[in-house]
Amino acid sequence: MNYWPLLGIAVVVLGFVLRYNPVLVVVVAGLVSGTAAGIPWPDLLALLGTSFIENRTLLLFLLTLPAIGLLEHYGLRERARDWIISFRGLTLSRFQIAYLAIRQLTSMIGLTHVAGPAQTVRPLVAPMSEAAAERTLGPLTDDEIQQVRANAAAADNVGLFFGEDVFVAIGAVLLIQGFYARNGIVLEPLAIALWALPTAIAAFVIHALRLKYVQRKLERARRLSPPRPVQADVHAED
């Protein structure tokens, strides 16, 4: 057993600890492991090039980050907040339940990458949730803001996780099929997707009730201990 290729793991750990560029760290780690394994440099470079071509769709996610950052610089979050405030009767739970439904339905038809923490939650769903919460609670405290943002991310995760299994051509369904096949149980992907539908519906109902509970909890906490107004210091004149 040749343990020298494991040096690549040490390179990754050291590079991340020193906060170097992640792409550079991974490439160097691959070169170190390949060299230690005795792979000729031409073959190693060809392998890296092939891996890059096969995973070039990841570039789409890398391009979304600067695009979203540019939109935020020009006031995307502020416009999203103003737009939500213009809707009368829209509460925090109603907005996040609506997003949960959209996220789950799009995942059910295979559109798993049209939304996500970087694409929608941070620039849109989180500020919209804060604006919806401020409609009923008023200005939010730091703890309330963090809780609202966490629930926005949770709605995205739950919608994706339980919605994607309903789509036939998804990795999770094929993984389940392969697991049962190795144990002598033959299942069609369509049957697995159909059996995932009740679970998806149950997950939506349970999480929707949880979002309702979170809003009532915030409202109850606000009634029991309203935020104290900041009072200016008054100095008596001599």
In eight-state DSSP terms, residue 48 is H
pLDDT digits (tens, 9 = 90+) for 198-221: 999 999 999 999 999 999 999 998
pLDDT(65) > 80: no
Query: Tokens for 81?
Result: 């907040």
Whole-structure pTM value: 0.67
**% of the chain at pLDDT higher than 90:** 31
User: Which has the higher per-residue pLDDT, 97 or 181?
Assistant: 97
pLDDT at 199: 93
pLDDT(71) > 50: yes
pLDDT at 165: 85
Other Cβ atoms closer than 10 A to 228: 6
Q: Which amino acid is at 2?
A: N
pLDDT(164) > 70: yes
pLDDT at 151: 95
Longest alpha-carbon distance in the chain: 92
pLDDT(191) > 80: yes
pLDDT(72) > 80: no
Cα dihedral: 93, 98, 104, 109 (round 10): 180
Please return the burial class of 210, using the count of CB atoms within 10 Å of its CB with bins 0-12, 13-18 and 19+.
middle
pLDDT at 232: 45
* pLDDT tier, 237 (very low <50, low <70, confident <90, very high otherwise): very low
User: Nearest Cα to 201, choosing from 121, 113, 111, 105?
Assistant: 105
User: Mean pLDDT over residues 158-172, rounded?
Assistant: 86
Q: Which helix (H) or strand (E) holds 178?
A: helix 171-182
| CA 233, chain centre distance (Å) | 44
pLDDT(226) > 70: no
